[in-house]
Amino acid sequence: MRKSQAPPSVVVGIDGSKAAVRAALWAVDEAVSRDIPLRLVYAGDPRTTSRTHPDHAARKLAFAEGAIRYALMTVESTEKPVKIEAEIAQARPTTALVRASQSAAMVCVGAVGFKRFEHGHLGSTAAALAHAGLCPVAIVRENDAWAGQHAGSIVVETDESPGNAVLLKIAIEEARLRKAPLLAVTCWRSRYSDDRDVDAVADRNRLVRAQLYRRLAQWKRRYPDLQIHSVAAPGSIVDYLANNARSIQLVVVRAGDHGDVGQLIGPAGNAALHHTDCSVLIANHQNR
C-alpha cells in the first residue's frame, strides 16, 4: 500500500539556537501567505547504546521540548494568524529535514546553528540541505545588530536561460510578500583584457542593463505596484553581494545553478554575507 504524502507546510529546523528561532520568525509570513501550517521540527541524533544512561536521554528530550516550546512561544508572540505544528524527530538533522522537504512548500534553517562551523559560518546542516533539499530552501541569516530589520531589497540573478522566468516569478513573490523592491541583477564577465578600462566597463554595463530592461518590461506591466530595478554587475553574484549585501535582505538563486549555490554557501559567500542580514533562498521551483 502506498504511503500518503504529508500535507504541505513551511518547515523550520529547530535546534535551540537563536538563529533557528529567527528562521522561524522569518518563515511565518511564508506560511501565512500560503495558508498552510508552520511546522517546527527538532531533530536529535537517534544513536543510543546499552550504556546510555536514562538521565542522559531524558535531558536530551527535555532540551528538545524546551527548544520547540521557546520557538513556538516566540512565533505566537507575533500574533500573526499562523497555525503551528511541532515535531521531535529521532533522526539526524539533515536526514529529518531532507525527508520533510519531500512534501514541504519550503524548508527554513538558520545560517548557523546545527553543528555549526566557525562562528558566523554556514552550519553543516544548512549546507547539506542546500544541495539535497527537494523544495525551496531558505537559509536565514540575521545578525544581532540587524535582527528584525527587513528594510533591504530582494535580489535575483537574471539571464536569458529558459528557466529564468520561473526564478524571477519566485523572486517577485518574495518581494511582494516582504514589501521590498526587487533588484534584477545580470552579472557579466569579460573574456578580454578591458576589465580595468573604466569606459569599456561602463559601456558594457549600459548594454547589459538595456537588454535586461527589455526583458523586465512585461513584469513591470504585470506588477505596477512593485519596484523592479535593472542592475548590471561585472563579476559574479558573490562579487555583487560583497559590495552590497548590507542593503539586501534576501538573494534568490536557482537550485540548478550549482556554481552560484556553491559560491553562496562556501567560503566566498560566507565572507560576503558575514555580519549582514542577507538570507539566501535556493529555489527548487518543482515543489513551489
Predicted local distance difference test score (pLDDT) of residue 149:
52
**pLDDT tens, residue by residue, 238-283:** 999 999 998 999 999 988 766 778 788 888 888 888 888 899 999 8
Amino acid identity of residue 262, one-letter, is G
Say if residues 139 and 265 touch (Cβ distance below 8 Å): yes
Do 281 and 198 lie in a common domain? yes
Residues 6 or more apart in contact with residue 104 via CB below 8 angstroms: 8, 9, 10, 11, 39, 135, 287
In a domain, 179, yes or no: yes
- Most confident region among 44-48, 148-152, 269-273 by mean pLDDT: 269-273
Task: Say whether both 85 and 192 belong to one domain.
Answer: no
Count of domains observed in the chain: 2
- 11-39 in b/e form (b: 16+ CB < 10 A) is bbbbbbbebbbbbbbbbbbbbbeeebbbb
Is there a single domain that holds both residue 111 and residue 206? no
Task: Please report, rounded to a whole number, the percentage of residues in the chain having pLDDT higher than 90.
Answer: 50
Domain end residue (candidates: 97, 116, 140): 140
In this structure, are 117 and 204 located in the same domain?
no
CATH no. for residue 93?
3.40.50.12370
The confidence score (pLDDT) of residue 276 equals: 86
In a domain, 1, yes or no: no
Query: Which of 140, 172, 193 is the endpoint of a domain?
Result: 140
Confidence of residue 150 (pLDDT cuts 50, 70, 90): low
Q: Which residue has the cell 544541495?
A: 131
**Looking at the domain assignment, is residue 145 inside a domain?**
no
- Mean pLDDT value of segment 30-49: 87
In a domain, 84, yes or no: yes
pLDDT in tens, 57-79: 788 889 999 999 999 999 999 99
- Residue pair 255/261 in contact by the 8 Å Cβ criterion: yes
- Asked if residue 194 is part of any domain, the answer here is yes
Task: Kindly provide the residue ranges of all beta strands, DSSP E only, lying in 45-168, ordered along the sequence.
Answer: 84-90, 106-110, 137-140, 153-157
| Backbone angles phi and psi of 103, in degrees to 5 | -120, -5
What is residue 3's DSSP assignment? Answer: P
Grid coordinates standing for 268? 566566498
214 & 252 share domain: yes
CB-based burial label for 274 (10 Å; 0-12, 13-18, 19+) = middle
Residue 118 shares a structural domain with residue 200: no
pLDDT at res. 119: 38
Same domain, residue pair 264 and 171: yes
Q: Which structural domain, as residue segments, surrounds residue 46?
A: 10-140
Alpha-carbon torsion 223, 148, 15, 55, what sign? negative
CA 205/CA 208 separation, integer angstroms = 5
* 168 and 100 assigned to the same domain: no
Q: What is the mean pLDDT of residues 171-193?
A: 86
Same domain flag for 129 and 16: yes
263 in the same domain as 161: yes
- The pair phi, psi for residue 39, each rounded to 5°, is -110, 115
Same domain, yes or no, for 132 and 207?
A: no
Residue ending a domain, among 140, 171, 190, is: 140
* Residue 146 domain flag: no
Please state, in angstroms and rounded to a whole number, the distance separating the CA atoms of residues 126 and 5: 24
Q: What confidence tens digit (pLDDT) does each residue in 199-230 have?
A: 777 777 777 778 888 889 999 999 999 999 98
Cβ-Cβ contacts under 8 Å for 16 (sequence gap 6 or more): 63, 66, 67, 70
Nearest CA to 41 among 93, 113, 110, 105? 93
Pairing, β 106-110 against β 137-140: parallel
Of 94-103, 168-177, 186-195, which range is least confident?
186-195
Given a contact cutoff of 8 angstroms between Cβ atoms, the answer to whether 26 and 279 are in contact is yes
In a domain, 258, yes or no: yes
Domain co-membership, 203 together with 129: no
173: in domain: yes
Please choose, from the candidates 161, 160, 152, 158, the residue with its C-alpha nearest in 3D space to the C-alpha of residue 170: 158
